[in-house]
Amino acid sequence: MTHTAPNVIWIMCDQMRFDCAGFSGHPTVQTPHIDRLARDGVTFNNAYCASPVCSPARASWLTGLYPHAHGQLRNFSSPHRKKVGARLNSDSITIGDVLKNAGYRCGIAGPWHMGDDHLPQHGFTDFWSTYRYQGRHGDRFFEYLDKQGVANNYIMKQLPPAIHRDVPHMHHGAYNDPREQRTTWTIDRGLEFLEQCDEQPWFLFLSVKDPHSVIVVPPELLDLYPTDQIEMPETWRDPLEGKPPSQLTKTCRLPEDVDDNAFRRSVAHYFALITHIDIQVGKVIDKLKKMSALDNTIIVFMSDHGEMLGAHGAVGKVLMYEESVRVPCIITHPATLPAGFRVNTPLAGVDLMPTLTELAGLCIEHEIDGRSVATAIRDGCQPKPQPVFSEICTWDALKFKSDTPDDLAATVMVRDGDHKFVWNQSELDELYNLIKDPVEIDNLIHEPSQNHRTGKMMALISQMVQNTGPGVYDWCTLDP
């Protein structure tokens, strides 16, 4: 590799919780390769997604825009591709567009999930190996499984008997053949992209669907996580007193009769799958070493959004609790970034795109919501604190039961300093002191002493949604 522009590999998991890795202090989950990235680079201890839903979050990470600005308000599904908020606006500019225009060879392996998965787009035109959300256009991964003659464990309507369903939204099992595993397939396709690289700088987006359910793991990794050693969440039986009533009825809420041991088995599989992801990350690192490209490659490891994993009696995401909106996030680049640097300043779900662009030596020439923190982290300094936001439409709208724009915009969250405020359009708001109450039990919204703070945080939200146009979030704009 003789070019001077840095290569970029962006590894984006789906639904990996911020604290489920060795580098984040988890006492059980084993992630030695990812931990090595943290030791060699910069770790963001407080990174927040722009929406606790896959498609909107991913679109924000890639564009530097909040969902109301880039148009992806809910998960993409091919049958609903023309519905309101179902896809990324075609004129939204992604980091793929920016790097492609700068002369990079750009490719993706794994789910695109932001519209027309079968069509190369947004700069990723040199290598397009996507799967899983392609609807009638076929699915490369499923076709691969058929060709190999191995089991398909990922068809939700036809899950095989080996996949356990005893905990809702955490279906899990162990594979019989390594070819059955989707992260392995994704990484192998990414390695094919790297094999094709030459003197041109390149950008590889490794879109890893795991550890999102269906959780399919190598059987030997389950030995690392004995079920009787899995600790239950502190807020496992949270009665949700003083919280918005909808939290009691969301589909992510676990039934009261769910068996504790069954839940522990699900968590053990989730942990084992993270370790499998780590092993696959190790394959990428080894490949870069063999290519003599490691020192000149920016590596990002992170997740699109988090996972409740039993906190507040819920699994999955779609809530504004820390477990759902915070994500792991690491950037390494031996040539420019300090090793082992920890950033405590919150990173917004729109900040990573401009940060990576600047680290690649490029400028953003269009308006976005995010800001680059590249200069600060290169100097080993904490970026100046700024409020960070997340937004989400209603759960019914997420499931495509609604097409009315006013029904889409349901909730906006802001974290400013030690406090988090959740503004709900049609029900009780929430306010938490994350220092005094890190598990978010005590909703302070009714405290008279907090009225001024609440008003200030509403004003922050109003300013944010108007920055690039409020769209369907016009309901939370305030008069000057």
Q: Given a cut of 70, is residue 315 above it in pLDDT?
A: yes
Q: pLDDT digits over 84-96, tens only?
A: 777 788 999 999 9
The mean per-residue pLDDT over the stretch 11-35 comes to 97
Tokens of residue 446, six digits: 């009714």
Q: pLDDT digits over 345-395, tens only?
A: 999 999 999 999 999 999 999 999 999 999 999 999 999 999 999 999 865
Report in angstroms the alpha-carbon separations of 344 from 60, 296, 353, 363, 472: 21, 26, 19, 25, 32
Greater confidence (391 vs 404) lies with 391
Q: Work out the pLDDT band at 470, boundaries 50, 70, 90.
A: confident
Q: pLDDT digits over 231-249, tens only?
A: 999 999 899 999 998 888 8
The mean per-residue pLDDT over the stretch 139-152 comes to 92
Greater confidence (404 vs 462) lies with 462
Output the average pLDDT for the chain: 92
Q: What is the spatial distance between Cα 292 and Cα 306, in angstroms, rounded to a whole number?
A: 33
Least confident piece of the model among 70-84, 262-276, 333-347, 354-368: 70-84
- At residue 397, the pLDDT reads 46
Task: Looking at the structure, give the CATH architecture of the domain made up of residues 7-387.
Answer: 3-Layer(aba) Sandwich (3.40)
- At residue 400, the pLDDT reads 47
Greater confidence (87 vs 467) lies with 467
Q: In the chain, how long is the greatest CA-to-CA distance?
A: 64
